[in-house]
Chains A and B, each alone.
Chain A
Amino acid sequence: MNLGRAWKIAAREFRLGPRSPLFLYAVFLPLAISFLISAVFGGLLEPEARLGIVDLGESELALAAQELEGVSVSVLEDADDLRARVERHDLDAGIVLADGFDQGVSAGEQPDLDFYISGESLASTRIVLAVTTTEMVREVAGEEPPVSVSVTSIGDEGYVPLGDRLLPIVVFYAVVIAALFLPASSLLDEREKDTLSAVLVTPTTMNEVLLGKGLLGVLMGVALGVMSLGLNQALGNRPLELVAFLFVGSIMMAEFGLILGALVKDANSLYTAIKGAGIFIALPVIFIIWPTLPQWVPKFAPTYYFLQPVYEIAVNGARLRDFGVEMIVALLICLALAPILLVVGRRAEIRLAWA
């Protein structure tokens, strides 16, 4: 095998790749998913209570409210606007602070406080906002709390925020689309358009073509995997250990991709095969998101042996040496796939010769 020729194939893939929509898809999908997870699902599954405030004087309460943790506070100009937003459930609750509210509270008077609650807000949100407002008023009035409070955290170690548990989805899509889909569709495209036959009449062999296309997948898989982790601030203290698993995972996915690209009859079948196998290869992602599910199940999926270590290193600060067995299994899968790839590549070459 001539590595120089394989590299030329890979270089050509990189040069022509950006013309393909799939190439752009591979680059932009991790970006889009990162955005969705952080902006959409983070807020959807861990929603904040939303409080609106109209301050008709210059109350300190409006300022104190904006410092609250876990409550999204909007300061509005107009009480009618506040009521309309609360009614539409754009806010869970709203308060209108009358002019001179702070002075009235401090002087022990009985200032007006209009508290509007959205009919669609949860009962739990209502009580949180009502009690929080009362506590803020107490603070503004300078009333000493009758008791002091200390906070004790319980069981911090095992808790992983939902946003972090969704991280494997981003890595999964980055590596699978780039390392599996790109070489698969590139090989299939060349077979369908018969440009592969043209390449094979030169001194370039089928194995060099496979290696060149595989290189494209592996490099893109690693690059997009690193980019996805970086975008989610999950590169941590051991980026090289992450890269090691991303590298092995990308090789594995590229091999699967090339086997598919050599085997399937057309793009429709390729798409359907990936769609059909999707649940199987995405299995580890599901079990990371729901850690209470039995954790032996995803070990049947080959993607487990790189996704689980990447997740543990990125999120839980694990080390490469903690996942020695997973690394060995991942390498064995890669080794086992190599002869299968050579055989299906050879058969694809023979089919082309007979066509």
Chain B
Amino acid sequence: MNRDVVGAIVRKDFVTFTRDRFYLFITVLGLVAFVAMYWLLPSSVDETIRLGVSYPSGQGFLGPAAEANADELSITVFPDRGSLYAAIEEGEQDIVAGIAFPAELVGGSAPVELLVPAGVPPEYLPLMEGIATQAALFVSGDSSSINLATRTVVLGTDRVGDQVSMQEQMRPLLAFFVLMMETLALASLVSVEVQERTVTAVLVTPARTRDFIAAKAVLGTILALAEVLLLMILIRGFVGDVPVLLAALVLGALLVTGVGLLAGSSGRDFMGVMFLALALMIPLMIPAFGALFPGSADAWIKVLPTYGLVEAIVGVTTRGESWSDVAPALFALGAWCLILLGLGASILRRRVETL
């Protein structure tokens, strides 16, 4: 491989890329949109259920329920049902639902009224019934006949008050979207060279097929890496072990370059290339979407090429993991990079040589 030739092809492709002002504009616009989306997402998790209660006979009747931990339950007392109803309807103080107690809570004929606006999660009803029951027992001075020997154990790191925010959850997905944008750009660049046969013009110079392929791989990796690094800087994504994160992003850029070479050299025409690139991207997106959900990924998700990338980003940025923790994920990602780059390069080589 001739490094000067590869450098010359990379420079030519880069000039071609930047000359297309519209394409460049759309790329920048996409990046701006992703950054804006990130900053518009909630940066913290509201873990508190805000309920309102009204009790015509005065405050202080709720007993232990009123002293509920502010992390989980916040109870606001209203003087009467009307003001509670109005507060829920207007969404005052973020109250999601209310409990209107009758004047005679115990022994009276009127039921406790649960005021529930549309859209309140159905699991809140048993919670409200439970609070009503506790209040009734407290007011009557009775105690429940239920007597349990409950042992409560918190498993894993207790993250109450320090939950992973939507912003943090979205980091791998945004990084993946930016990498994907560059996959499409590289696929398009490669397919245009092949379909318009400009590659044959390149190959009458001292450049060889391997130089051409290496140049495309280098350009794709540089573009993808530059954009994803810019994104991570703009969303302040470099938290935790930065060298590990950088390694994951470099491997991610190599991976999508492999996909770009594969799609760009396999499609018959531009639309075919776009279709193929998107079809390849759909399974690759799954781990990034999976990171938005709680819990561990299924076994089949773990074998997808991008799982290692997502796992490394999530591990480093939200769980504070280091090299030793994410090494298996990075190793798997590296192996997929080799496979996809090798496959993409060999198909492109065959395509170029048959022109």
Contacts and interface: CB of A to CB of B under 8 A. Distances in A.
B116 interface: yes
Given A150-B112, A152-B116, A113 B148 contact: yes
Given A110-B147, A123-B160, A141-B146, A275 B26 contact: yes
Interface stretch (B45-53, B206-214, B216-224, B339-347): B45-53
A123 B153 contact: no
Interface residues of A, number: 82
Given A25-B275, A32-B282, A123-B47, 5 more contacts: A22-B271, A128-B127, A141-B146, A154-B85, A276-B22
B126 A272 contact: no
- Interface of A: prevailing SS: mixed
15 contacts: A21-B272, A89-B295, A108-B145, A135-B130, A135-B133, A136-B126, A141-B145, A146-B140, A148-B111, A154-B88, A189-B269, A268-B23, A268-B192, A271-B274, A276-B29
Interface stretch (A4-12, A42-50, A232-240, A332-340): A42-50
B119 A161 contact: yes
A151 interface: yes
A226 B271 CA distance: 25
Nearest to B271: A22
B237 to A, nearest CB: 21
A123 B130 contact: no
Given A22-B271, A89-B156, A71 B114 contact: no
A233 to B, nearest CB: 19
Which one of A116, A119, A146, A154 has the greatest number of beta carbons of chain B within 10 Å? A146
Given A154-B88, A272-B26, A149 B156 contact: no
B82 interface: no
Contacts, number: 230
A43 B292 CA distance: 11
B271 A21 contact: yes
A352 interface: no
B292 A44 contact: yes
A138 B118 CA distance: 27
Which one of A127, A137, A143 has the greatest number of beta carbons of chain B within 10 Å? A127
Nearest to B276: A21
Contacts of A275: 26
Interface in A263-299: 266-269, 271-272, 275-276, 279
B153 A113 contact: no
Interface in A28-86: 32, 40, 43-44, 46-50, 68-71, 83, 86
Given A89-B156, A131-B127, A152-B114, A159 B119 contact: yes
Contacts of B150: 113-115
Contact of B155 (A119, A266, A267): A119
Interface of A: 20-22, 24-25, 32, 40, 43-44, 46-50, 68-71, 83, 86-92, 105, 108-124, 126-128, 131-132, 134-138, 141, 143, 145-156, 158-159, 161, 185, 189, 266-269, 271-272, 275-276, 279
Contact of B146 (A89, A105, A127): A105
Contacts of B295: 88-91
A143 B275 contact: no
A24 B117 CA distance: 43
B348 to A, nearest CB: 19
B144 interface: yes
A153 B118 contact: yes
Contacts of B13: none
Contact of B116 (A109, A154, A185): A154
Interface in B100-156: 105-106, 111-119, 121-127, 129-133, 136-137, 140, 142, 144-156
A135 B126 contact: yes
B324 interface: no
Contacts of A105: 146, 148
Contacts of B48: 123-124
A276 B142 CA distance: 68
Interface residues on B, range: 35 or more
Interface stretch (B67-75, B227-235, B243-251, B299-307): B67-75
A90 B155 contact: no
B170 to A, nearest CB: 11
A112 B152 CA distance: 11
Interface in B273-306: 274-276, 278, 282, 289, 292-296
B154 A117 contact: yes
B90 to A, nearest CB: 10
A260 B73 CA distance: 56
B26 A143 contact: no
B72 A123 contact: yes
A149 B111 contact: yes
Contacts of B144: 138, 143
Contacts of A108: 145, 147
